[in-house]
Amino acid sequence: MPKVVGRPLSVVAVLFAALLTAFATRYGYHRDELYFLVAGRHPDWGYPDQPPLTPLLARAMSAIDADSLLLLRLPSISAATFVVVAAGLMARELGGGRGAQVLASVAVASAAMVLGIGHLLSTASFDMAAWVLVCLLVLGLLRGARGRGVDRNGRRPEVDERRGRAASDEGVGGRVGSDGGAGIGGLGPRWWLGVGLVVGIGLQNKVLLIFSVAALVLALVLVGPRKIFATKYFPMAVGLAVLIWLPYLLWQWRNGWPQWEMSRAIASGSSGTSDSPMMFVLSQFGLMGPLLVPLWALGLWRLWRDPRRRAVAVAYAVLFVVFLVSGGKAYYLGGMYPILMAAGAVPVAAWLGRRRIRWAAAGSVIAVNAIVSAVLFLPVLPVAVLKDSPVLAINYDAGETIGWPQFVRRIAEVRAPLGSDVAILTDNYGEAGAIERFGGEYGLPTPHSGHNSYWWWGPPSDTATAVITVGLDRDHLTGYFAEVEPAGHIDNGLGIDNDEQGRPLFICRKPRAPLAELWPAAKHLT
């Protein structure tokens, strides 16, 4: 079993984290971050669109410094940095030495999606970190299964002397545990408990993780090694994961399973990052960066050729089909690529050998990938030139981090002549979250919205003399108010065509019924 090259991996991790930290505050809050901050102030065991972990992290960071965007994003920076280090550790589990571990780590650090999730506080950041950790632990369990001397059908494999290398060069080794198996740290099958713990915590962050776990378990059942389940620790791990996840499941059950309703809305294309089937397929070649496609494709092929780890390749195929057919977003498959790239790094590093020219060429490719990824998924370009660049067309989230202070100032201008007894109703949670974050400067009231969790938090008061609406269509509003007066549009003043640019503002009076009675019709999930 190769040694962990701790110092080189640490250097890569520090440089990666330093890059994310340097660009953490250049633009502004993302709409989801504004929402997480508000959701964290309404702590619960669940929300209609997510479990509670990320909002609780947002609350913890804001409790330290409510105005620090850098502090808010530190958990995601840490999660993405862990993914980078874990890629090197997975390469080691797959038999890779110093070169393979560093290559895998640097390649993942240059990946577009990894930079993107490290920049923003998001559920995707911790979802990828949790899944990568599960993959690392399962690789150790698979190594332990091999150490027990069984193949995927439960038979003892024959050693192929023609391969000309010891079993330890392929990642075999470790101390035999109490169940007769080798594994990470000598614990063998006991590492199933670690898997259960990580899965349980991960499911308190994002439900998406259950699909990846189910796909991997199905793949192991189909292609083996099935012997990996032959331990009391596997059902214990399942029980541990379910126990940790249970409070969120109970919340969903008590509230009519809104997560399922929201998933159907996303599949129908209602989300700003929803993808058509064609875009889902094409986007897979860009999630890590086009230049890294040969690396992860080689890793996928290598895993398929390895009976001991073929289940990982099968799990990728299963997830690809499931997300494609169900209308999932392209990034849902992103967590699989670090392990594929780690698998590809092992033969690539062997081919590079000690030839400096080859290493220089490989390094140049990764450097170009890193530069392109950083320009597209980090706030590298000045805001003034952003509208004339391809960034907004490729990275939807970039536009959603710009213009929120101007947005709130425009609403304050509309509200100023109306007096203090005015309510604000927004179309989406990002708009409402921005008003809560920046509205204190203008004395704006707490906003309301029918979007996701905001609907659960209740309607405006019936005592309001007027309701300022943001982003809602006039034809829709006339069904609820007898008077609907235009009040202009949102303009960020930067020429950035994001979701809020050009949205209409109205001043509404004389509701056709008490707002509490109209509120059920305002609910919408995306």
Q: Are 463 and 421 in contact (CB under 8 A)?
A: yes
Predicted local confidence at residue 272, as pLDDT: 53
Show Cβ contacts of residue 487 under 8 Å, excluding neighbours closer than 6 positions.
Answer: 414, 468, 505, 506, 507
Side chain identity, residue 176 = V
Q: What proportions of the chain, in percent to the nearest 5, are helix, strand and coil? A: 60, 5, 30
What is the spatial distance between Cα 504 and Cα 488, in angstroms, rounded to a whole number? 6
Give the pLDDT of the chain (526 residues) as one tens digit per residue: 888 888 999 999 999 999 999 999 999 999 999 999 999 999 999 999 999 999 999 999 999 999 999 999 999 999 999 999 999 999 999 999 999 999 999 999 999 999 999 999 999 999 999 999 999 999 999 987 665 444 444 344 433 333 433 333 333 233 323 333 444 555 688 999 999 999 999 999 999 999 999 999 999 999 989 999 999 999 999 999 999 999 999 999 999 999 888 887 776 655 555 668 898 999 999 999 999 999 999 999 999 999 999 999 999 999 999 999 988 889 999 999 999 999 999 999 999 988 899 999 999 999 999 999 999 999 999 998 998 899 999 999 999 999 999 999 999 999 999 988 999 999 999 999 999 999 999 999 999 999 999 999 999 998 998 999 999 999 999 999 999 999 999 999 888 989 999 999 999 999 999 999 999 999 998 8
Query: Which is nearest to 324 in space by CA: 285, 281, 284?
Result: 281
Predicted pLDDT of residue 392: 92
Which token pair is 465? Answer: 């003399």
Q: Looking at beta carbons, which pairs linking 333-336 to residues 24 or more positions away fall under 8 Å?
A: 333/284, 333/287, 334/113, 334/117, 334/124, 334/128, 334/287, 334/288, 335/127, 335/128, 335/131, 335/132, 335/212, 336/131, 336/212
pLDDT at 132: 97
**Cα–Cα distance list, 71 to 108, 120, 202, 499 (Å):** 24, 11, 22, 26
pLDDT at 273: 56
What DSSP designation does 157 have? P
How far the first Cα of the chain sits from its last, in Å, is 47
pTM > 0.75: yes
